[in-house]
Structure 1
Amino acid sequence: MLLFSSSLSTSFSTSRVSICSPPSLLHSSLPLKLSSISVRRSRCPCVLYCSKVRGMAELVEVEKKESTRSAAVVALGSGEEKHSRTFLHVRTEEELLSGIRKEMEAGRLPSNVAAGMEELYHNYRNAVFQSGDPRAEEVVLSNMTVAFDRIFLEVEDPFVFSPYHKAMREPFDYYMFGQNYIRPLVDFRNSYVGNISLFSEMEEKLQQGHNVVLISNHQTEADPAIIALLLEKTNPRISEDLTYVAGDRVVTDTLCKPFSMGRNLVCVYSKKRMHDVPELAEIKKRAITRSLKEMALLLRGGSQIIWIAPSGGRDRPDPQTEEWFPAPFDASSVDNIRRLAEHSGVPGHIYPLSILCHDIMPPPRQVQKEIGEKRVISYSGTGLSLGPEINFHEIAATSGDSEKAKDVYAKVLYTSVTEQYNVLKSAIHGKQGLEASTPAVSLSQPWV
């Protein structure tokens, strides 16, 4: 449940460069209860994302070697660090919601977070009930008790993300937590994957040690879970190994952070929000440079698959027509990630990826500076499609101008993403299903 948005428009040094079972039609597995489970909390002192200006300025300057410090593993309920288990053992909706009020009245839960949790519960409940699953009540209660526990733990003991964050799979599996939470919101009967064979081609390149970059549009906080759910049967390695270039909102929003902890992330700042707080602009730029170096190190190791949304944010509907469409790509962001891949010393491949899932968890209609957006949630069909690899140097050879080639390359990638998106839209919202397939986009439902 993340919003993974970034714009890699900062400069960087290339000398140093030198972030399961197949899904059933409805929810198929419930998250485990967390009694007697311990959780790893990162105490990295070089956190790059802090709402306090003074704190950020101090922390960003900490030596990089400090960021490699291992995350501490803390047993819940141990003498070393204790946490309230208010939400783990509830049996009814009333107990769950009264737990929120109890913790707020005790001063352990901020009122704004408490209000967000209650709103999240009702919206999630309504969406799951839209699925018609006879076990909807059980699914909602099971998933929300775990979600509230993780959110409350985040309030008590805030987790801080390093420039490169590795998905936390043990002792608590944050990845499966996110998958189980989003799964009941997906109408798999009205969901489709385009060009499934290209995903297998891409996976073969990863097995050969090559790197892969996915240039994608970005629709919701749930994008990573949707991608993983639609590929978990055919391409589980892609589902679990993807590294997402993530904007700062998903690593600072209390309601979102537990879901972000289950994904591999390279944490950056979106160019759209670079000057939200003018006095932080230079600090953010230095943070991005540092994160780019982390990404470069990853790519040098090979067999990496990186997802980036070069629009710098989520897609939003046209205010006049209400039609959704992929937000335009920033050519400089595309070029930066391309150069990172090319200078890694490992063969790299860039593919255009299109995702359609905006009804699951649509973003606010307007970009907002404040952290803590309203979460609207729905049960809906979703779609994912991969276009053929697009080679920059083939385009540059025909353009004759390297600067012009950068713009043309970004436009070619964007055109592919948009064309695939239109096919997905016809299949899902146009109710054409598999008949929406075209010579360029072959739709399938690999979980059937």
Structure 2
Amino acid sequence: MISSLSFSSSSSTATLFTCSTAPRVSTSRISCFVKTDGGGGGVWRRSRCPYLVLCTSKLRGVADMLDEENSYSRGTAAAPAVAASSSVSDQREILHPQTFLDARSGEDLLLGIRKETEAGRLPINVAQAMEELYLNYQNAVLQSGHPNANEIALSNMAVALDRIFMDVRDPFQFSPHHEAIREPFDYYLFGQKYIRALVDFRSSFLGNMSIFNEMEKKLHQGANIILVSNHQSEADPAVISLLLESTSPFIAENMICVAGDRVVTDPLCKPFSMGRNLLCVYSKKHMNDDPELIDMKKKANTKSLKEMALLLRGGSKVIWIAPSGGRDRPDPDTKEWYPAPFDASAVDNMRRLTEHAGVPGHIYPLAVLCYDIMPPPPQVEKDIGEKRMISFHGVGLSVASNINYHETTATLKDPEEAKMAYTQSLYSSVCEQYNVLTSAIHGKQGLKASTPTVSLSQPWL
């Protein structure tokens, strides 16, 4: 799902830096702020009562979720079943068709999509995307080799299609600051469960667990944590939470993602985005798609910027941003993946917001490697509704020590030079960590890929 930070610029000059992967950092003067781009395994069971959904009132009954599936070595597709709270009846939920939750097989799911399309309740383009999503997800989960892979794929997709269908019928509107919906239906656990089935934990790695523990302590003491990161797929937030859930649960569940407009408008993304804490913005890359909407988008981004400032003043906030303004993509010639260049103005704006919050704030470089499970399209697409390619694969996450702006730029007098130097420092650290994760996962070196600055572990095994 989600996230990158971008700015609308009046002018822009690009300066290239080098790092061991593929290095670039750009700078631009900002007139308006922000952008972003939004999983778990286990087995769901069908509920006899109406499924729980977002609403302002409570719902009737308890949704029957199946027994927790035992995962082998906690490292494959299975995961805890999602629990929902019991509540009073809700009219919207009662009238909601149980088309997908009643499915007993994949064929039932596909027939359900066609039935709702023929009834005029599903647009053809959304129906085609849902069918494609089911087939790709099923194939990916089967790659795990889990003995209950078919059941896992069926139960997860039944709930996913149900949530997508429900939102098509009654679209949810995101506010500038969206808080994860945990009841009466827990969208966060739904998303974690869905993505968990795609993660091969046996070949996944966490870098510098001790620094994540340090961050948790600072958050509990009232400080703010900013994670300046690369961004690889819609599943990034879920992957981060899955790799941290056993050792850094506060970060896993409370992380706020700077999220682009596409993940809060795409019908296939929205249910997953509803389970994340978001600061919703319009992407710089899509700011000019419709000239008539530019002013509206800039005003919305300014409002989100104010929301962020208010959140930081409260302290104990952990915010994940990707100052590249979008997802990483492979080099068109070498096909090699690398962290996309950071926008120096985006980094500097985040740094100033953090410093002016009135509470301690710390900025950490974070590296994410997970493009295999849900890679983006080769090029940035203007239209909503990208094709979802999905795989079962190992993923990686690493963080390095916080980088202090004033210490890094102490000898520099020119503000622009200092801004670029600080951005380069963060970017170089992300690149360094990313290379270690690449060696561990794609180079098959595993824990042996650890370096003096990046210590790999697998706390879930």
| Same-fold call, TM cutoff 0.5 | yes
Question: Structure 1 pair 160/75, CA: closer, same or farther in 2 (3 Å)?
Answer: farther
Structure 2 residue matching 1:418: 3-state secondary structure: helix
Question: Structure 1 pair 316/361, CA: closer, same or farther in 2 (3 Å)?
Answer: same
Distance of 2:406 and 2:183 partners within structure 1? 42
The amino acid that maps onto 1:318 is: D
The residue that corresponds to 1:363 in the other structure is 376
Structure 1 residue matching 2:299: 3-state secondary structure: helix
Query: In 1, are the aligned partners of 2:53 and 2:93 still within 8 Å (CA)?
Result: no
The residue that corresponds to 1:212 in the other structure is 225
Residue 325 (structure 2) pairs with residue 326 (structure 1): no
Query: In 1, are the aligned partners of 2:224 and 2:362 still within 8 Å (CA)?
Result: yes
- What pairs up with 1:16-415 in 2 under 5 angstroms? 27-30=41-44, 33=47, 35-41=49-55, 78=91, 82-415=95-428
Distance of 2:47 and 2:399 partners within structure 1? 36
Query: In 2, are the aligned partners of 1:5 and 1:311 still within 8 Å (CA)?
Result: yes
The residue that corresponds to 2:447 in the other structure is 434
Question: Structure 1 pair 89/75, CA: closer, same or farther in 2 (3 Å)?
Answer: farther
Structure 2 residue matching 1:186: 3-state secondary structure: coil
Distance of 1:240 and 1:39 partners within structure 2? 20
The residue that corresponds to 2:459 in the other structure is 446
Structure 2 residue matching 1:202: 3-state secondary structure: helix
Distance of 1:351 and 1:31 partners within structure 2? 40
Distance of 1:165 and 1:76 partners within structure 2? 24
Distance of 2:404 and 2:270 partners within structure 1? 35
Which of structure 1's runs of 4+ aligned residues deviate more than 6 A?
73-77
The residue that corresponds to 1:62 in the other structure is none
Distance of 2:366 and 2:92 partners within structure 1? 48
Shift of 1:107: 0.4
The residue that corresponds to 1:7 in the other structure is 6
Query: In 1, are the aligned partners of 2:181 and 2:275 still within 8 Å (CA)?
Result: yes
Shift of 1:404: 0.8
Distance of 1:151 and 1:79 partners within structure 2? 15
Query: In 2, are the aligned partners of 1:315 and 1:327 still within 8 Å (CA)?
Result: yes
Structure 2 residue matching 1:103: 3-state secondary structure: helix
Unaligned 5+ segments in structure 2 are 9-29, 58-85
The amino acid that maps onto 1:221 is: E
Structure 1 residue matching 2:54: 3-state secondary structure: strand
The amino acid that maps onto 1:311 is: S
Question: Structure 1 pair 99/191, CA: closer, same or farther in 2 (3 Å)?
Answer: same
Question: Structure 1 pair 215/363, CA: closer, same or farther in 2 (3 Å)?
Answer: same
Shift of 1:213: 0.3
Query: In 2, are the aligned partners of 1:31 and 1:143 still within 8 Å (CA)?
Result: no
The residue that corresponds to 1:57 in the other structure is none
The amino acid that maps onto 1:3 is: I
TM-score (norm 1): 0.87
Distance of 1:381 and 1:76 partners within structure 2? 42
RMSD of aligned C-alpha atoms? Answer: 2.1
The amino acid that maps onto 1:401 is: D
TM-score (norm 2): 0.85
Distance of 1:173 and 1:446 partners within structure 2? 25
Distance of 2:249 and 2:417 partners within structure 1? 38
Distance of 1:42 and 1:358 partners within structure 2? 36
The amino acid that maps onto 2:356 is: H
Distance of 1:396 and 1:93 partners within structure 2? 58
Unaligned 5+ segments in structure 1 are 14-18, 44-72
Distance of 1:443 and 1:105 partners within structure 2? 52
Question: Structure 1 pair 444/248, CA: closer, same or farther in 2 (3 Å)?
Answer: same
Shift of 1:124: 0.2
Distance of 2:396 and 2:432 partners within structure 1? 13
Shift of 1:29: 4.9
Distance of 1:430 and 1:225 partners within structure 2? 24
Structure 2 residue matching 1:430: 3-state secondary structure: coil
The amino acid that maps onto 1:106 is: A
The amino acid that maps onto 1:282 is: D
Shift of 1:272: 1.4
The residue that corresponds to 1:69 in the other structure is none
How many residues were matched structurally?
A: 408
% same residue = 65
Query: In 2, are the aligned partners of 1:76 and 1:83 still within 8 Å (CA)?
Result: no
Distance of 2:388 and 2:323 partners within structure 1? 24
